[in-house]
């Protein structure tokens, strides 16, 4: 029997088995209403789940109202949101995939327009145009995200304790909703990343200064996530592996952070990068194919912890090579799946490991297999 490509070899994480090693990355679509999912989410998530990935993430969901990025952010701050998430998890399960959700707080990047509305801080024009006004944002310190952005309120110890409880309640709601995997968002300039990065955190208390102190809150919340999440199910953390080239949070910091995450029982680190506005004259990591794979590889090799590789991974042979060479354990696709949501199922065909079209919903597979038999494609 021919050996399956690693991409389509099942993966066991704790008691959860993924049918393959392709993950739909969490992608914010800013299309909720008052934190509630809409028909858009059903269509969007259903399309992605039907494409054949083993693990499908629902987009970042806010732990409280203040923690939204935009008025369109999906929420998990209220028990009323549980039914929406349960419907999305059930939809994913209906396509023989596992369901995951990312839990987040927007921090100093909150109170902003949707990207296609400009992505800038909300103002009077947004109130006039859409009835969407700004709100007070909070972060690790009072440093604005960028020139022209409002200064966030530096969170007090009491506010930190309150948001920790908001995260705890969000983790509980996610489990009631029926998700299989939970992920804490510590990347892309949002609240947890703003505590980690010296570019955003200038506190002089137990949550600022040294790397140990800057890691304190994200590790505290990650530990609560592991405590609240069932022992038999996996917990992930997404990180910005670096802020930029030789500035701010570094890959050495990420290795140290990952080691601490491993010690508290986190199963996998999802290795992204960037999200901070860098001082003039500094640069982000160049966005070339697989540009974040070296970060996943270094953490997996040095920490001995499973990682997710993400970022401009488009070609099946390259994805397979990443796994074969031990550079990561899962391959996450984002915008590539917006372009072609059937990438996983098409790749299974191309690699010769799905002759019966079982990666496709049977409502599609039966017809497509017949078409190929009759027409050759």
Helix axes 343-350, 316-324, angle to 10 degrees: 80
Q: Cβ distance 238 to 102 under 8 Å?
A: yes
Q: Which helix (H) or strand (E) holds 222?
A: helix 211-228
Known catalytic residues are 190
The enclosing H or E element of 309 equals strand 306-310
Write the CB contacts of 253 (distance below 8 Å, at least 6 apart in sequence). 196, 211
Contact in structure between 303 and 271 (CB atoms under 8 Å): no
Pairing, β 330-333 against β 22-24: parallel
- Burial, 101: exposed, middle or buried (Cβ in 10 Å; 0-12, 13-18, 19+)? buried
Both tokens assigned to 182: 């939970």
Secondary structure of residue 58 in the 3-state scheme: strand
- Residue 18, SS3 per DSSP: strand
H/E element holding 87? helix 82-93
Q: In the numeric block, which tokens belong to residue 34?
A: 């008052």
C-alpha count within 13 angstroms, C-beta hemisphere, residue 209: 5
Q: Are 107 and 188 in contact (CB under 8 A)?
A: no
Q: How far apart are CA 97 and CA 53, in angstroms?
A: 7
DSSP 27: -
| Side-chain-side CA neighbours of residue 329 (13 Å) | 18
Structure tokens at 292: 């974040």
HSE at residue 161, side-chain half, CA atoms within 13 A, is: 3
How far is 254 from 240, CA to CA, in rounded Å?
8
Label residue 164 exposed, middle or buried (CB < 10 Å: 0-12, 13-18, 19+): middle
């Amino acid at each position: 029997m021919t050996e399956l490509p690693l991409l389509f070899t099942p993966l066991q994480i704790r008691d959860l088995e993924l049918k393959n090693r392709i993950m739909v990355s969490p992608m914010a679509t800013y299309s909720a209403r008052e934190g509630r999912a809409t028909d858009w989410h059903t269509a969007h998530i259903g399309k992605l789940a039907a494409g054949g990935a083993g693990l499908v993430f629902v987009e970042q969901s806010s732990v409280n109202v203040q923690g939204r990025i935009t008025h369109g952010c999906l929420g998990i701050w209220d028990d009323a949101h549980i039914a929406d998430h349960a419907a999305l998890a059930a939809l994913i399960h209906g396509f023989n995939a596992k369901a995951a959700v990312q839990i987040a707080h927007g921090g100093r990047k909150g109170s902003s327009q949707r990207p296609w509305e400009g992505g800038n801080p909300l103002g009077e024009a947004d109130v006039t145009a859409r009835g969407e006004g700004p709100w007070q944002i909070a972060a690790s310190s009072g440093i604005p995200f960028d020139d022209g952005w409002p200064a966030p309120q530096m969170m007090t110890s009491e506010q930190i304790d309150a948001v920790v409880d908001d995260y705890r309640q969000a983790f509980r709601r996610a489990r009631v909703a029926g998700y299989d995997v939970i992920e804490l968002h510590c990347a892309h300039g949002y609240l947890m990343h703003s505590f980690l990065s010296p570019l955003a955190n200038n506190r002089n208390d137990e949550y600022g200064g040294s790397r140990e102190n800057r890691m304190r809150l994200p590790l505290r919340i990650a530990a609560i996530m592991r405590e609240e999440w069932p022992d038999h199910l996996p917990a992930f953390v997404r990180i910005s592996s670096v802020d930029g080239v030789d500035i701010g949070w570094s890959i050495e910091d990420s290795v140290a952070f990952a080691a601490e995450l491993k010690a508290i029982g986190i199963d996998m680190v999802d290795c992204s990068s960037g999200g901070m506005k860098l001082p003039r004259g500094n640069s982000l990591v160049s966005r070339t194919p697989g540009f974040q794979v070296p970060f996943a590889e270094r953490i997996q090799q040095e920490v001995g912890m499973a990682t997710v590789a993400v970022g401009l991974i488009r070609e099946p042979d390259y994805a397979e090579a990443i796994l074969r060479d031990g550079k990561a354990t899962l391959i996450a696709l984002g915008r590539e799946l917006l372009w072609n949501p059937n990438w996983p199922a098409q790749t299974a065909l191309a690699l010769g490991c799905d002759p019966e079209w079982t990666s496709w919903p049977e409502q599609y597979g039966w017809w497509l297999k017949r078409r190929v038999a009759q027409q050759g494609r």
